[in-house]
Amino acid sequence: MLSQTNGIPAVAPPYEEGAFRLLCNWTKMSYDDPIVYPGQPGLAHHHTFFGNTAIDAYTTPDNIRAKGNASCRGGAINLSGYWVPSVIDTATNKPLVPKYLIVYYKTGYWPFMGDGSQMQPMPHGLRMITGDSTAEGQGEGWFACMLTMPDGGLTNRSGSGGSEIPTNCAPTDIVRARISFQQCWDGVNLDSPDHKSHMATPVAYNSPDSSRPFRCPVTHPVVLPLVTFTVDYDIPAGSSSANFRLSSDTDRSKPAGRSMHGDWMNGWDTAISNLWGIKCMRERRDCGSANLGDGRVTVEFQGN
């Protein structure tokens, strides 16, 4: 599901990000989590899945491309699994159906790294989790009420953004959830016991170039694209965002949304992810929505 165009994205100005993004429809909801509870169906809290349509408790990096269809732009070039805790309307005890997921792959901190490191494409077999499903304090996710502008675009309603699900969205607003992963990899392990320790966040150091004060930790020296999930939800008629909680928000005494987290399992066709990993990331091109960096664009997937 690729289409040829005449447009190769321009190289971004110095210190600006290279970026590639794609739209995914939701595929299913279940109590599975093939990263945290592999081979154990039904043990997780309720999740909403995007990407590979056949994701279940038995999905592994070895079989993810051998089953299922795709719900992301481009079809079978990307059979990755993307999942988040479901948003539950506690007034009805039903999960909200998301409008879509936008997956952003960006250069992140890399343009500001002063150690001469080279951006690498996503490694085959990688899986990772970001956020904390048991967070006691401020969560790692970001939420906002999104107001639709006259031109059809979205902007966050003033004062609504934060680490908790806002309680005062207007009935016509869209509730947006966003969370980012870590982009420094240890270069060896495709997973870790906590599904996080093989990844790390860039750190500040005494760089010879003051305009590039970051690098990956020496324990995690490989720079990968920064992955960010953005999930949008319509507010059902008669509902209120004051009643929304994540399925992982088990402590009702704490504000909703603190347990926001995301799971990612690589199911890309390696040749394709290597392509945009170099053309869009390493060469820092603004590839926009689904341009692979070589003039081809992914075709919109319809349905879920």
DSSP for 107-176, please give it. Answer: -TTGGGB-S---B-PPPTT-EEEEE-TT-SSS-S-EEEEEEEPTTS-EEEPTT--BSS--S---TT-EEE
Q: Which residues pair with 180 in a beta bridge?
A: 228
* Low-confidence winner among 7-11, 134-138, 193-197, 261-265 (lowest mean pLDDT): 134-138
Going by C-beta distance under 8 Å and a sequence separation of 6 or more, which residues neighbour residue 302? none
Domain that holds residue 175: 2-131+141-298
Q: Position of tokens 């590039």?
A: 212
Read off the tokens for 90: 């506690």
Q: Around Cβ 124, how many Cβ atoms within 10 Å?
A: 15
In Å, the largest CA–CA distance within the chain is: 57
Task: Read off the pLDDT of each residue in 118-128 and give the average, rounded to a whole number.
Answer: 97
Read off the tokens for 244: 């929304």
Residue 303 lies in a domain: no
Residue 136 lies in a domain: no
Residue 21 is predicted with a pLDDT of 93
The rounded distance, in Å, linking the Cα atoms of 252 and 194 is 25
Confidence of residue 57 (pLDDT cuts 50, 70, 90): very high
Confidence of residue 23 (pLDDT cuts 50, 70, 90): very high
Read off the tokens for 237: 């008629």
Mean pLDDT of the chain: 93
Residue 302 is predicted with a pLDDT of 54
The rounded distance, in Å, linking the Cα atoms of 183 and 215 is 11
Q: Which pLDDT tens digit goes with each residue over 181-217?
A: 999 999 999 999 999 999 999 999 999 999 999 999 9
Confidence of residue 279 (pLDDT cuts 50, 70, 90): very high
Q: Which residues pair with 47 in a beta bridge?
A: 30, 85
Residue 304 has pLDDT above 60, yes or no: no
Residue 117 lies in a domain: yes
**DSSP H or E stretch at residue 69:** none
**DSSP H helical ranges for the chain:** 270-276
Read off the tokens for 191: 């997973």
Residue 154 lies in a domain: yes
The rounded distance, in Å, linking the Cα atoms of 47 and 264 is 13
Report in angstroms the alpha-carbon separations of 271 from 77, 123, 289: 9, 11, 19
Residue 207 lies in a domain: yes
Query: Reading across the β-sheet that carries 184-185, which strands appear in turn?
Result: 199-200, 184-185, 222-223
Confidence of residue 13 (pLDDT cuts 50, 70, 90): confident
The rounded distance, in Å, linking the Cα atoms of 182 and 220 is 11
Confidence of residue 6 (pLDDT cuts 50, 70, 90): low
Task: Read off the pLDDT of each residue in 259-271 and give the average, rounded to a whole number.
Answer: 97
Residue 304 lies in a domain: no
The tally of domains found in the chain comes to 1
Residue 185 lies in a domain: yes
Q: Residues 87, 197: contact at Cβ < 8 Å?
A: no
Q: Around Cβ 79, how many Cβ atoms within 10 Å?
A: 26
User: What is the pTM assigned to this prediction?
Assistant: 0.94
Backbone region of residue 93 per phi and psi (left: phi > 0; alpha: psi in -120 to 50; beta: other values): left
Which of 18, 14, 17, 52 lies closest to 32 in space, CA to CA?
52
Q: Residues 248, 56: contact at Cβ < 8 Å?
A: no
Q: Which pLDDT tens digit goes with each residue over 134-182?
A: 876 778 999 999 998 888 888 988 888 999 999 999 999 999 999 999 9
